[in-house]
Structure 1
Amino acid sequence: LSALEPEYQTSPPRTLQNLRKEKSRNAARSRRGKENFEFFELAKMLPLPGAITSQLDKASVIRLTISYLHMRTFVSQGDPPWSPLMEGDSNCSKVRRSSHSLVTDIFEQHLGAHLLQSLDGFVFVVSQEGRFLYISETVSIYLGLSQVELTGSSVFDYIHPADHVEMAERLGISPHLRAEAGCHTVPESASSSASTSSLAGTPEPTPSSPHSPADEPPDRGFFIRMKSTLTKRGLHVKSSGYKVIHVTGRIRCRPALMPGSARSVRRPMGLVALAHTLPPSTLNEVRMESHMFVFRVNMDLQVTYCENR
């Protein structure tokens, strides 16, 4: 009995410990189930197709939700406000619909998608901090990047390092806040070598003079290089380089009062723009046969380069 006494005394604590572990595992399993359900419900509220929201991870759901909330603020607080047009305010003209206008109603429901598909480019909205609040799904046609991947991400992660300062100036980001926004200054030698190695034959945008957002008009027009993962036709090779994008848009502002004064000023909120991709170099699209060779001449028709064959 004395030999069995220690074992008898230690067995109940082990049983209690196992019960506590099982209870802790059940509680953690219950918390994960509730958390997954909340994320699933939150993902269903996003303005995206169900086939996409059902495949999102938690980090993507949070990123897209934050971007959507910022976009609502961008829409409602800007000047002029877009909310009355979106919510059907009484000041807006209402179109009378009859029972025989079902086709028209269906078309109007998808009017935005039809307009985006008809554009020769893609639309995007970038906040003052340099993050994509919205980008149309047509970006995949021109750059091979997905709408879900870009929304909420920093624009500086997808443009050439040599164009970071250009983009920051166009957005009106102060120099002391550019590093926080993801804008990095690249030396001229490094940027030129990176441009040559990543995208041969692509013209580099002409650098512009520094801008002052308070002095210049809200209209914007500039060239940047954005990442592209498209496959070149006929070559079946994925070109992980950059494409030159022509950006035309307008800075959206909101009215604000100056501290200690009744004077109203316009604070920039971000950029609303349409992006066009420049056509690729035709030389890259020519199929080189065995009886052909490449040579280059200058403006005086003097041969500066010729292939060995």
Structure 2
Amino acid sequence: MRRISYFIFPTDKKTWKAVHTKISVSFENNFYQISKYSEKPSKSQAQQRRQMENYEFSQLAKELPLARAISGQHIDKTTMVRLATAYIKLYNIFGQSRRAYSSADYYYGSDSHWTNNHLDLLDGFFVILDRRGDVLYISETISIYLGLSQVEMTGNPMVEYIHEQDINCFNSALNYCDRYWPQMCNVRVKSSLTKRANKDAVRASPGYKVLRLEITMGPNPNTRMIACYPMPTPVLSTVTISSNSFVIITSIDLRVTYADEKAHQLLRNTYFPDSNIKGLSFYNLIDVGDSEVISKMHFDIFNLGAYKTPYYRMILNQTSSTFYVESNIFRHTCISSKQFNDSITFVSSIL
């Protein structure tokens, strides 16, 4: 015969309250005992898990291709994962596209024996971006020119460091470049090395430095390789003038206010010995086919403060002959109690 057990609830409030209190205390005591016994295994498991995690990250840090001075510093885990992801992408792109190089590759500049020494000799720094514009690689010399860290920038979008007004120009050059048709643009990039502006000087964008970017397609169509060249400081006493260069200073409407002797020899009208280019518009000195180059410069110089032009033609001695130049251009604005000076300086190199 099967026995059936019944649980009979108390009917009166006093008995029910006593039973409820007893059950609650018993439950709390049992829970405390269970927690007490399970606390030690839980702590030891968590500690063991953290030790294993730290060990894996320490091994990962050794595998990252970083300089000893950087890898010896403390790098947080998020940064380490970001760097590892960027280097894996870089290996998948370049590690799988290796091929035998011929003598023709060396002729066209595709040297397979590039090392860090070559990057150190570059008068600027080198960047590789993926198809989304994230930095896969950036040379260590970034710290010399901008004061930024290689570790900080790797894996992050490049546009985060470009001035918001120059992002469209940068994206346009990035999208329209080709392996045999590189694009060039002048943009402002964040820098921690920009000095405080002189109280009498007006700076275009404090906290930014103007860079000349030469963008070309990498060995993989989804990558972009960028050579970044900082513009020289816009102080004439610190700009080196080579033997094949000349200087022209204009007002903000590009009317010539000063030209050195070499500029006069190349640009004045030889049919009139006493002629002078001072007072002429700069547009009168260039080939009409390249006026768009100077027009774009004239617009951008007010935002950037410094600019480097592509090659353009200037008219030789007001004749039908022309010669090619490349110009570093600076805008200098000085406000004082006595005067206001706003000028544009052309330092042009003859090709």
TM bracket, shorter-chain basis: 0.5 to 0.7
1:31 maps to 2:49: yes
Contact 2:184 2:214 in 1 (8 A): yes
- Alignment correspondent of 2:33: 15
Give matches, 1:168-207, under 5 Å.
168-172=171-175
1:120 maps to 2:123: yes
1:46 maps to 2:57: no
- Alignment correspondent of 1:88: none
1:170 Cα deviation (Å)?
Answer: 2.1
1:133 maps to 2:151: no
1:223 Cα deviation (Å)?
Answer: 1.5
1:272 to 210, 214, 225: 225
1:76 Cα deviation (Å)?
Answer: 3.3
Contact 1:123 1:136 in 2 (8 A): yes
What secondary structure does 1:230 align onto? coil
Question: Can you list the C-alpha shifts for 1:61-110, whole angstroms capped at 9, x where unaligned?
Answer: 10000000111122135xxx34668xxxxx99xxxxxxxxxxxxxxxxx9
What secondary structure does 2:168 align onto? helix
Unaligned runs of 5+ in 1: 86-90, 93-109, 173-210, 255-267, 286-295
Question: How many angstroms apart in 2 are the aligned matches of 1:40 and 1:136?
Answer: 24
RMSD between aligned alpha carbons? 3.7
1:222 to 172, 185, 191: 185
Contact 1:227 1:240 in 2 (8 A): no
For residues 307 and 168 of structure 1, do their structure 2 counterparts lie closer, same or farther at Cα, with a shift above 3 Å needed?
A: closer
Contact 2:213 2:226 in 1 (8 A): yes
What secondary structure does 2:172 align onto? helix
What secondary structure does 1:280 align onto? coil
Question: How many angstroms apart in 2 are the aligned matches of 1:137 and 1:279?
Answer: 20
For residues 228 and 17 of structure 1, do their structure 2 counterparts lie closer, same or farther at Cα, with a shift above 3 Å needed?
A: same
* Greater relative CO (CA pairs within 8 A, separation 6+): 1
Give matches, 1:1-309, under 5 Å.
11=29, 13-54=31-72, 55-77=74-96, 81-82=97-98, 112-172=115-175, 211=176, 217-232=180-195, 241-254=207-220, 268-282=221-235, 299=255, 307-308=336-337
Contact 1:171 1:270 in 2 (8 A): no
Question: How many angstroms apart in 1 are the aligned matches of 2:335 and 2:210?
Answer: 28
Question: How many angstroms apart in 1 are the aligned matches of 2:256 and 2:27?
Answer: 102
TM-score using structure 1 length: 0.59
Question: How many angstroms apart in 1 are the aligned matches of 2:40 and 2:69?
Answer: 36
The one-letter code sitting in structure 1 at the alignment partner of 2:185 is F
- Give percent identity, aligned residues only: 32
Question: Can you list the C-alpha shifts for 1:193-219, whole angstroms capped at 9, x where unaligned?
Answer: xxxxxxxxxxxxxxxxxx4x68x9442
What secondary structure does 1:145 align onto? coil
For residues 53 and 273 of structure 1, do their structure 2 counterparts lie closer, same or farther at Cα, with a shift above 3 Å needed?
A: same
Unaligned runs of 5+ in 2: 1-21, 104-112, 199-204, 239-249, 258-278, 280-332, 339-351
Question: How many angstroms apart in 2 are the aligned matches of 1:222 and 1:300?
Answer: 26
What secondary structure does 1:269 align onto? coil
Paired residues in the alignment total: 213
For residues 249 and 24 of structure 1, do their structure 2 counterparts lie closer, same or farther at Cα, with a shift above 3 Å needed?
A: same
